[in-house]
């Protein structure tokens, strides 16, 4: 039986090629290095030295220069989410024993339900074993809550997908998720041309999670299990919304020396349902590291909610908007997003509120 597998020889060749010829594009070398690392059975993150090139310094500058609008769009959602509280059990996913081929077939049957043939054609291209674009690993060796990864080769415009199997219904969602990344990101300009590229980086991924969850429920798969995946996405986002709110509030109290006035931030946080007093030690990770990917992730989730809501009435249009996602630049979400029909910041985060109502319990104020 042939496996779903990358062509490791070719990846190593490319990695060496970029190391040799394109030292100035550290990211390209990183990309292939990471793919080669991920090919191996045991997950090893790319060496810190490689990651630390001037690239990181550029990210940090970019964060201060352009991150503000994103933080404000994400943190404003605090006004919706502070009305909800959640208790969260990460229950064990029930086993579903499918072979890799059957996993691809089941996921393919979901792609058949998407009213734009391009998605199915691209899925077939990705999963065609002869193309060596999809690598499926049966033992879960990626770090927790990594179900898969997609790397887009910006030279050949080829998407490489990696799925790490849990042998549960999660695998179907993972494959759908990574396939959506592969389809959308294939069209993207490389990051050394568009430095804002990551802004909407998780939009199609979250969209795929919502779409495939709803299709699986329609097909009769266990609703409780599937809503659990939806909850994970929502709660991850709410955590980042809270962190962004803290970050924004903290920025506003920075003194001339660049220190936060913790005492004036804490009461504001408490009034928004964030229950800890803020000190240097309790500053969440996001504030300490200014984690751009997390902020982009939360912004992407909010975008996906709006897109998925419109999908119910006009799926063809939304699929086109998704395919055009890479043509919006990423620099100024507030002015760009309305061009693809996304306006959560104007309607008071309605769809986020709806999602919270559907998945979380409303806060009880009685004591």
Which positions lie near Zn ion, rule CB under 5 A?
205
CA-CA distance, 367 to 365, in Å (whole number)? 6
Which residue, 159 or 205, is less far from Zn ion as judged by CB?
205
Question: Residue 118 contacts by C-beta under 8 Å, 6 or more apart in sequence?
Answer: 183, 323
Sheet holding 158-164, edge to edge: 134-137, 158-164, 148-153
**What are residue 136's phi and psi, to 5 degrees?**
-110, 125
Is the distance from CB of 32 to CB of 7 less than 8 angstroms?
no
* Closest CB 22 distance from Zn ion, rounded Å: 26
Which residue, 75 or 296, is less far from Zn ion as judged by CB?
296
* Closest CB 177 distance from Zn ion, rounded Å: 6
Query: What value, to the nearest 5°, has the Cα angle with vertex 234 and ends 344 and 71?
Result: 50
Among 21, 18, 52, 55, residue whose Cα is nearest residue 33: 18
* Closest CB 265 distance from Zn ion, rounded Å: 32
Residues in the chain: 367
* Closest CB 275 distance from Zn ion, rounded Å: 30
Q: Could you tell me where the beta strands, DSSP code E, fall in the chain? A: 84-85, 134-137, 148-153, 158-164, 361-362
Comparing every residue's Cβ against Zn ion, the nearest one is 205
* Closest CB 200 distance from Zn ion, rounded Å: 11
Which residue, 179 or 226, is less far from Zn ion as judged by CB?
179
Which residue, 103 or 274, is less far from Zn ion as judged by CB?
103
* Closest CB 167 distance from Zn ion, rounded Å: 20
Which residue, 78 or 110, is less far from Zn ion as judged by CB?
110
Buried b (16+ CB within 10 A) or exposed e, 138-164: eebebeeeebbbbbbbbeeebbbbbbb
* Closest CB 15 distance from Zn ion, rounded Å: 23
Buried b (16+ CB within 10 A) or exposed e, 273-283: ebeeebeeeeb
Q: Could you tell me where the beta strands, DSSP code E, fall in 252-297? A: none
Among 59, 53, 74, 54, residue whose Cα is nearest residue 291: 59
Is the distance from CB of 176 to CB of 216 less than 8 angstroms?
no
Among 147, 153, 145, residue whose Cα is nearest residue 126: 153
Structure tokens at 164: 């790490």
Which residue, 134 or 283, is less far from Zn ion as judged by CB?
134
CA-CA distance, 79 to 216, in Å (whole number)? 32
* Closest CB 202 distance from Zn ion, rounded Å: 5
Which residue, 205 or 333, is less far from Zn ion as judged by CB?
205
Which residue, 168 or 266, is less far from Zn ion as judged by CB?
168
* Closest CB 250 distance from Zn ion, rounded Å: 28
Which residue, 158 or 272, is less far from Zn ion as judged by CB?
158
* Closest CB 147 distance from Zn ion, rounded Å: 9
Structure tokens at 177: 């998720």
Which residue, 176 or 205, is less far from Zn ion as judged by CB?
205
């Amino acid at each position: 039986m042939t496996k779903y597998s990358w062509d490791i020889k070719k990846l190593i060749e490319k990695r060496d090629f970029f190391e040799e010829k394109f030292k100035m594009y550290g990211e390209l070398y990183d990309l292939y290095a990471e793919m080669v690392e991920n090919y191996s059975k045991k997950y090893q993150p790319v060496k810190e030295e490689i990651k630390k090139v001037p690239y990181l310094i550029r990210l940090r500058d970019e964060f201060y220069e352009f991150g503000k609008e994103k933080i404000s769009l994400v943190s404003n959602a605090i006004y919706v989410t502070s009305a909800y509280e959640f208790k969260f059990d990460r229950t064990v996913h029930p086993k579903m024993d499918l072979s890799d081929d059957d996993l691809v077939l089941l996921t393919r049957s979901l792609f058949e339900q998407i009213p734009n043939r391009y998605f199915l054609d691209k899925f077939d291209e990705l999963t065609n074993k002869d193309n060596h674009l999809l690598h499926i690993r049966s033992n879960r060796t990626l770090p927790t809550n990594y179900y898969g990864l997609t790397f887009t080769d910006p030279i050949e415009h080829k998407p490489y997908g990696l799925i790490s199997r849990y042998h549960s219904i999660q695998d179907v969602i993972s494959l759908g998720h990574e396939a959506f990344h592969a389809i959308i990101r294939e069209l993207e300009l490389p990051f050394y041309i568009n430095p804002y590229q990551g802004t909407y980086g998780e939009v199609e991924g979250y969209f795929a999670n919502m779409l495939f969850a709803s299709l699986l429920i329609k097909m009769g798969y266990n609703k409780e299990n599937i809503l659990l995946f939806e909850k994970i996405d929502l709660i991850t986002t709410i955590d980042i919304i809270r962190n962004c709110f803290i970050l924004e509030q903290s920025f506003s109290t920075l003194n001339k020396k660049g220190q936060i006035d913790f005492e004036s931030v804490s009461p504001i946080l408490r009034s928004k349902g964030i229950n800890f007093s803020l000190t240097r030690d309790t500053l969440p990770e996001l504030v300490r590291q200014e984690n751009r990917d997390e902020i982009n992730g939360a912004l992407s989730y909010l975008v996906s909610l709006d897109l998925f809501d419109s999908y119910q009435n006009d799926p063809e249009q939304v699929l086109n908007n998704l395919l055009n996602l890479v043509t919006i630049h990423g620099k100024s979400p507030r002015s760009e997003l309305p061009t693809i029909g996304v306006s959560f910041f104007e309607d008071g985060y309605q769809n986020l509120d709806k999602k919270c109502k559907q998945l979380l319990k409303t806060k009880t104020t009685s004591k």
